[in-house]
Amino acid sequence: MILLITRKDVANNSPDAYKVVSHPETIGHRAVSGPHIRFQNFVAKTVIAAPGAGADIIEAAFTASAALVGAMAVAIMRRCFEMTLEFAKSDTRNGSEPIINKQSVADLLIKMKTRCEASRALTWKACASLEKWSEAAETAYLAKVFCSDNAVQCVVEGMNAVGIQAYQARSQFGVLLNDAMCLPLFDGGNKWNPASADVFPRTRYEPHNRLPAAIKAAGYDIKDVKAVIMGHLHLDHAGGLEHFLNTGVPIYVHEEEFKHACWGAGTKAEGGSYLPDYLPLDGSLNWQTFNDSQLDLCTGVTLHLSPGHTPGLCIMQVNLSQDGTFIWTTDQFHVRENYENNHAQGWLLRDHKSWMDSTNFIRRLQRLYSATIIFGHDVEVATALIRGKPFYQ
């Protein structure tokens, strides 16, 4: 739900209902006013979005603003390039020729120009796509992340080309840097570093991709869920657990995984792979841990401890009467190539020896049951199964 609050609304409420807590002073974007405001028992009657519709409007607003961040980044890079180019053409550093003739300076200018023009093209596409193409949201987010990160790098490269003079207040490079540094922080921040984004690409996240909608599309309601099985607790697998807060629905996870996740989230030693948001220890989630290497959860459903990617990762074996056995490997194998080529996941691997032992175990299990394997992040395998039959039994 979204309410419109006008000056008249503020006047009609008691003085205690509306309070400006602070006016944060920022190091960049000095013309921006972003007061911290607190409302308490405030009455407003103009409804912009009815209950249930607010999230979509907010998401649309943030999507559009993501493209605008790209435009802001391009403006900063363009100005920085112009300033650096002008300096490089006119300053000799007491040499015999302008420093633009030096390869190191020319290389920096080339990098800056490339960043700017690539960002300009992506921003143009993002803005032109809004409300027109299905991939508009994705393109806007890409523009925000790519352009804002490159704006910071572009200013740093310009300062490197100019040298210590760029650190003087009158040079204006400091102003550009302060403004550029804020761009990656906008709209929640660019939380995903390039390595993480490569492993966990989110190509689509429309309303129908959300867990309640996905379950509804299968003909059920999320309230019909009787239990949740977690192969492991990395953020890209456990992020939907908020739907089961205070429901009593049991969340099954191996004890080693649960302990490791709590340690990783609490100490931040796992670099953000586990987050405390979905690991409450106050009883609001009904955690059900087990320490067996094999757990027959119910008839036809068996969990097997398969450490390597994480200490407590479990794969799930499901035996169907008509379509045979399926094995969900979760992220023991992200994609088919991990399994077929014995190609582990590099920095995402926690124990290579355990990973190989688990891989060999899964191979034996697959041969024993002639099982179909479903990998953690392989869209081609998943799509083929979805298109193959409307359901499996």
Q: Is residue 318 domain-shared with residue 368, that is, in the same domain?
A: yes
Q: Is 303 helix (H, G, I), strand (E, B) or coil?
A: strand
Q: What is the CA radius of gyration of the chain?
A: 27
Two structure tokens written together for 275: 């987050």
The pair of structure tokens assigned to 225 is: 């869920």
171 pLDDT above the threshold of 80: yes
Tell me if 109 is assigned to some domain: yes
Residue 197 located in a structural domain: no
Whether residues 236 and 375 share a domain: the answer is yes
- Note the pTM of the prediction, 2 decimals: 0.55
* 164 and 96 fall within a common domain: yes
Is the domain of 244 the same as that of 383? yes
Q: What is the C-alpha separation between 296 and 125, in angstroms, rounded?
A: 51
In a domain, 201, yes or no: no
Q: How confident is the model at residue 293 (pLDDT cuts 50, 70, 90)?
A: very high
Question: What letter would DSSP give residue 305?
Answer: E
Both 222 and 171 in a single domain? Answer: no
- Over residues 363-375, the pLDDT tens digits come to 999 999 999 999 9
301 has a pLDDT exceeding 90: yes
Residue 43 neighbours by CB under 8 Å, 6+ apart? 9, 12, 13, 17
Please check whether residues 175 and 275 belong to one and the same domain: no
Q: Give the per-residue pLDDT at 246.
A: 94
List, for residues 90-115, the tens digit of each pLDDT value: 999 889 999 999 999 999 999 999 99
Q: Which amino acid, residue 66?
A: A
For residues 211 and 357, membership in a common domain is answered with: yes
Cα torsion 384, 386, 391, 393 to 10°: value is 40
Is the pLDDT at 199 greater than 70? The verdict is: no
Q: Are residues 293 and 321 in the same domain?
A: yes
Diameter over CA atoms, the chain? 84
What pLDDT score does 191 carry?
58
- Band (pLDDT 50/70/90 cuts) for residue 201 is low
Confidence at 3, pLDDT banded by 50, 70, 90: confident
pLDDT at 155: 96
pLDDT, position 188: 64
β 294-298/36-39 pair status: unpaired
**Is the domain of 34 the same as that of 136?**
no
Q: Are residues 130 and 219 in the same domain?
A: no
Does residue 311 have a pLDDT over 90?
yes
Domain membership of residue 173 (yes or no) is yes
pLDDT confidence of residue 196: 52
Tell whether 326 is covered by a domain.
yes
**CATH code of the domain in which 133 resides:** 1.20.140.10
Q: How many domains does the chain have?
A: 3
Task: Please identify which residue in the block is written with the tokens 């492991």.
Answer: 232
Residue 27 sits in the same domain as residue 159? no
pLDDT band at 277 (very low <50, low <70, confident <90, very high): confident
Question: Does 355 reside within a domain?
Answer: yes
Q: In the listed set 158, 191, 224, which residue is the last one of a domain according to the structure? A: 191
- Residue 334 inside a domain? The answer is yes
Nearest residue to 172 (alpha-carbon basis) of 154, 159, 182:
159
CATH number for position 249: 3.60.15.10
- Tell me, yes or no, whether 199 lies in a domain: no
Can you read off the two tokens belonging to residue 217?
A: 């599309």
pLDDT score of 72: 95
Residues 42 and 181 in one domain: no
Position 26 pLDDT exceeds 90: no
Q: What residues make up the domain containing 349?
A: 207-388
Q: How far apart are CA 361 and CA 373, in angstroms?
A: 13
